[in-house]
Amino acid sequence: MLVYYRGNNNDSYYTIALAFKYNGLNSKIVLFNPFTQNIQIKKLWVKNNNRRIRCAYIIEEIIEETYNNWNGYKAIINDIKSKSLFGKIKFSDSSLELANELYSKIEITDWFECKNDNQLNSLKNVALDFHDSYIKKTKDLNNGKRILIDTTWDCFIELKCIDIFKYDVLFDLSFEYYSDSNLYIKDDVINIEFELGCSNDDRYFDIIQCKKLYWRIKL
């Protein structure tokens, strides 16, 4: 699982997420720290100046096993299970070997491409379903369009839509925002449906249909 972790004092990096537990503002993630060469449990949300900010963005989810709301690699989940016996999570040497192996295979690209529903779901998870998000600006390309979206959840998401079949979007920066989203592939066409939480007309969705979709996080 690929994750971008943003810590304090410029302690930010791409690494491997080994397990995660979604529980609102108390969500946690198990990740490999490449600088200290160990496995750590981090909070997804931390306090900063009387507000909660997100510090981990899971770009790719891989679930081999689930236990007590934890999801992740089997070896890590087994270590978490042992907590019920010993009272403290201690990651095994084999788990550390797995983490090092997975980290050595990381490939970071400027853009992440969505080729299947799982990758579309990962985009939705990073954007928190695009709830309360809005379009900040757009840019026309020769073969498509770039769209910068303020998620209002501590990051921007930039989309790059290539070979657009349908673009039914009313770009109203002063008024329009989204409440939810549906992203799916049908007949080899990527469908992006932003449910409108507020707009100044009778539309319920902003809709984009394209052949290829790329995205990236901007902080």
- pLDDT tens, position by position, 145-183: 999 999 988 889 999 999 999 999 876 555 678 999 999
Give 3's strand partners.
Answer: 15, 58
Residue 10 pLDDT more than 80? no
Average pLDDT, the chain: 88
pLDDT at 55: 87
Per-residue confidence at 54, pLDDT binned at 50, 70, 90? confident
Residues sharing a CB contact under 8 Å with residue 121, sequence separation 6 or more, in sequence order: 61, 183
pLDDT at 100: 94
For 128-161, letters b (16+ CB in 10 Å) and e give bbbbebbbeeeeeeeebbebebbbebbbbbbbbb
CA gap 28, 76 in Å, rounded: 14
Quote the pTM value.
Answer: 0.85
Report the range of poorest mean pLDDT among 20-34, 65-79, 145-159, 191-205: 191-205
